Structure 1
Amino acid sequence: MKKFFLYLLLLLAVLGAVFAYVLYTEGAFDSAEPAGKTDMEPFMKCEAGKCAAGKCGAN
C-alpha cells in the first residue's frame, strides 16, 4: 500500500510538471499588459444619446 501512494505521488508530480511546462511554453505565465484607453468609449456614449449637446467631438 505504501508503494501505491509513492507511485501515485510520483505520477502526479510528473503530470504536473508536464502540464506546467506546456502552460509555460504557451505563455500562460507572462505578465498581462494593461489595456489602454480606447477612443471607442466616447463614441459609444454619444451614439447611445448619453452625451449632452456640444460635448461630443462629432457634434
Structure 2
Amino acid sequence: MKRTKLVYATRQEDIREKVAETLKKYHIPEEDVLDVRYQIKDSNQSALILYTVPDQGGTH
C-alpha cells in the first residue's frame, strides 16, 4: 500500500534535513521510500514523500 507525507520548511531551513527527520520520526525505512518530490515556491519549500507500507493482511 502506498502512503504519503507532506513536509514544509521555510527558505532558511534545509528541506532535505526536514525530510530525513520526518522519515526517522515516523519510522519509515529509506528502502520503503518510492520518491521524494520537492517544490520551492516564494519563501516556502515543501516535499512530498511517497512510500510503501506492508499490507497488514486485513479484509476491507
Q: Do they fold alike, i.e. is TM over 0.5?
A: no
TM-score (norm 2): 0.26
Which structure is richer in relative contact order (CA contacts within 8 A, separation 6 or more)?
A: 2
